[in-house]
């Protein structure tokens, strides 16, 4: 019974797990967040916060760099740890500065925190063997 509950009869594959994590996080970041920013840059820049003494259009540009280019690198598994670090910085900024660490309520940063945890995991683990980097 314990063997059944542990699912120990199924083979383990860290590399397949990392592939699924990279592709799922990368595609969702690129398509659900980065794509909208790049297609509506002007409108997004007007609403985007000016953080760290930088104008909002520069902050949008950095977010687009992470959410489009770094997300694509993550999907491919190319320069994975660098891409994950840039995405961690972006999601950390969103969670701590934009959403003010709120996990519930109208201005919840729950999704930013979930992304942050996933990208931090990939930063520490790397891409795995099923990637361009083949770590």
User: What is the C-alpha to C-alpha distance for residues 97 and 3, in angstroms, rounded to an integer?
Assistant: 46
pLDDT in the model for residue 8: 84
- The per-residue pLDDT for range 13-58, each reduced to its tens digit, is 999 999 999 999 999 999 999 999 999 999 999 989 889 999 999 9
C-alpha torsion sign, points 37, 77, 122, 82: negative
DSSP at 106 = T
In the chain, alpha helices (H) = 2-6, 14-29, 35-39, 41-47, 56-64, 71-76, 80-93, 110-125
Query: Is the pLDDT at 11 greater than 90, yes or no?
Result: no
Residues in CB range of 100: below 8 A, 6 or more apart: 107, 109
DSSP at 67 = I
Query: Is the pLDDT at 134 greater than 90, yes or no?
Result: no
Is 131 in contact with 19 (CB distance < 8 Å)? yes
- The per-residue pLDDT for range 67-80, each reduced to its tens digit, is 999 999 999 999 99
Which 3 state secondary structure label does DSSP give 31? helix
| Percent of the chain at pLDDT exceeding 70 | 99
Length of the chain (residues): 135
Residue whose C-alpha is closest to residue 122's, from 111, 109, 108, 135: 135
| Percent of the chain at pLDDT exceeding 90 | 81
pLDDT in the model for residue 4: 85
pLDDT in the model for residue 9: 82
């Amino acid at each position: 019974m314990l063997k059944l509950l542990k699912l120990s009869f199924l083979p383990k594959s860290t590399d397949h797990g990392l592939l699924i994590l990279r592709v799922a996080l990368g595609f969702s970041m690129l398509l659900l967040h980065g794509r909208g920013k790049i297609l509506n840059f002007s409108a997004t820049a007007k609403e985007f916060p000016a953080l760290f003494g930088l104008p909002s259009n520069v902050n949008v540009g950095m977010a687009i760099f992470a959410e489009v280019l770094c997300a694509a690198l993550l999907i491919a598994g190319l320069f994975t740890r660098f891409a994950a670090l840039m995405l961690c910085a972006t999601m950390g900024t969103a969670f701590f500065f934009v959403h003010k660490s709120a996990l519930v309520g109208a201005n919840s940063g729950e999704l930013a925190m979930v992304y942050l945890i996933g990208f931090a995991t990939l930063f520490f683990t790397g891409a795995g063997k099923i990637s361009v980097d083949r770590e």
